[in-house]
Structure 1
């Protein structure tokens, strides 16, 4: 039961858990850590690339959005852009830079669309992440699209988005990821 006396069922609690566990900042952090570790010359270099990249793509954007709400999303995107600049200047592995460009592009498109209609950033980032992993590591990553479906369900179940908003977000992520990743990687 919540503070306002409304009973919250197990499915609502599960939806909240899914939404938080696969939030855009969490997925961004997981993606950059995975790509940093898999594309670096050594474990030490991978850890350093992961820390640097997660700072720009997950930690700073998450802190900005939490502090100021959705209106501060462009500042979080600016942090990602600064991260791309740092990665380029420091000679980061191309697959790592490519995944950050995918995340930035997805964020920019979602932000632009959200000026007129509310697209699900959660679904877009989940789909872009899954699609990028399939492109980078092969078809055996395809089952990760179950996570995209769970994220979409959770956003609708929580009343944060309509089915059309999550489906459109997922489509945006799947459409954006391939050309961006392939061009940069």
Structure 2
């Protein structure tokens, strides 16, 4: 792969990683829900959906429980999933218990649904979490801000391309991840909205 292409793929992959999507989503949805108060709730959601999961993955990497923060091996993903899920579920319960804005709670609940679907598939096959979270994020943003957000779909495709170019996933794993994120994210928003 040419050096410039490899650099571009790495930038897209790192920039489009799930943590970054969740930091952006929680802030945008929180602000949209209730301006500064909503943004504060979004930051609470970010702690449980981005910050704590990142710390869990880094700790596992440091302890050599898995190779890197992307947790590339399927069996390692199964090992990491319960702790990440516990963080997101805890955040979801707190948001509902403390009466956070409905849109923020919906966002985190949609993430739980997408993570659960990914975990089920991961027992049998490796799937692209990058693609699932990117497409799920666009689905949630479209539910909150309107269908014009679907103009971000090429970004989801570019992130998928980067994962294939970096040999982290096959085209099939990217397509299935994208489908899971978009389908489950849309369904969760429809049911909760």
Judge same fold: TM > 0.5, yes or no.
Answer: yes
Partner in structure 2 of residue 4 of structure 1: none
Partner in structure 2 of residue 56 of structure 1: 48
Q: Does the 8 A contact of 1:121 with 1:169 survive in 2? A: yes
Q: C-alpha distance in 2, partners of 1:47/1:137?
A: 16
Q: Does the 8 A contact of 1:65 with 1:73 survive in 2? A: no
| Match status 1:109 vs 2:101 | no
Give matches, 1:11-160, under 5 Å: 11-40=5-34, 42-43=35-36, 45-68=37-60, 69=66, 70=77, 71-160=79-168
- Displacement of 1:8 in angstroms is 6.2
Provide Cα deviations, 1:123-175, integer angstroms capped at 9, x if missing partner. Answer: 01101111121122112111111111011000000000000000111011111
Q: C-alpha distance in 1, partners of 2:81/2:17?
A: 14
Give the match's secondary structure for 1:161: coil
Q: Does the 8 A contact of 2:38 with 2:101 survive in 1? A: no
Q: C-alpha distance in 2, partners of 1:20/1:8?
A: 18
Q: Does the 8 A contact of 2:131 with 2:159 survive in 1? A: yes
| Match status 1:174 vs 2:182 | yes
- Displacement of 1:89 in angstroms is 1.0
Q: Does the 8 A contact of 2:132 with 2:180 survive in 1? A: yes
Q: C-alpha distance in 2, partners of 1:87/1:110?
A: 23
Q: Does the 8 A contact of 1:61 with 1:73 survive in 2? A: no
What is the aligned-residue RMSD (CA, Å)? 1.4
- Displacement of 1:26 in angstroms is 1.0
Q: Does the 8 A contact of 2:28 with 2:39 survive in 1? A: no
Q: Does the 8 A contact of 1:97 with 1:184 survive in 2? A: no
Using the size of structure 2 for normalisation, the TM-score is 0.87
Using the size of structure 1 for normalisation, the TM-score is 0.91
- Displacement of 1:67 in angstroms is 1.6
- Identify unmatched segments of 5+ residues in structure 1: 1-6
- Identify unmatched segments of 5+ residues in structure 2: 61-65, 67-76
Provide Cα deviations, 1:109-129, integer angstroms capped at 9, x if missing partner. Answer: 112211210110000110111
Q: Does the 8 A contact of 2:136 with 2:184 survive in 1? A: yes
**Number of matched residues?**
177
